[in-house]
Amino acid sequence: MNAPSVGFFCDECSLYGVYPIPATESAGRCEHCGHENPARPSDSVNRGETVDSCPQCSNLRFYHRKDFPQQLGCAAVTGTVVLSSIAYALWDVPASIAVLVLASIADLTLYHRLSEVTVCYRCHAELRGFPLSPEHGPFDMHVAEEYEAGQ
Ligand SMILES: [Zn+2]
Ligand SMILES: [Zn+2]
């Protein structure tokens, strides 16, 4: 498991920043505009334990999602298509199918190995490297809509 960290969106410039846990003096300071965002991790969060409240907005509701970088997904798909075309050109159909099968196995393996990130429903702060709490589930559209409406 990676060292715990908090990813947040700056209140001032909306850009993304990260600070490590346990939080230091400069935690929450925006590296882009210097704005001091609130960084108030609870004791539990600061120990890298259960995420009980959001360090950025004190919200209590979170969801889990795979920490999957978008570019990586695109690169994997492009790479698979290119490889399978090359295999097709060199060795014909069975080889290109073999490449596709191998690639999907690799994708699945990768997917299962991706860590989960805990995300705040309100401010979308991302808490990485924390144990997943059974109280938080996968993304729930209805909960997200409540927050959108409440803003
Ligand atoms: Zn900023
Ligand atoms: Zn939050």
**Cα 38 to averaged position of ligand 1 atoms, centre (Å):** 12
What are the pLDDT digits (tens) for 39-64? Answer: 999 999 999 999 999 999 999 999 99
Which residues does residue 138 pair with via DSSP β-bridges, in sequence order?
Answer: 64
Considering only residues 150 and 12, tell me which one the structure prediction assigns the higher pLDDT.
Answer: 12
What are the pLDDT digits (tens) for 74-85? Answer: 777 788 888 888
**Cα 18 to averaged position of ligand 1 atoms, centre (Å):** 12
pLDDT of residue 24: 92
pLDDT of residue 1: 55
The kind and range of the H/E element at 145 are helix 141-150
- pTM of the model as a whole: 0.76
**Cα 11 to averaged position of ligand 1 atoms, centre (Å):** 7
Which residues does residue 16 pair with via DSSP β-bridges, in sequence order?
Answer: 9
Q: Where are the beta strands (DSSP E) in the chain?
A: 5-9, 16-20, 62-66, 116-120, 126-128, 137-138
Q: Which ligand is nearest to the CA of 15?
A: 1
**Cα 123 to averaged position of ligand 1 atoms, centre (Å):** 14
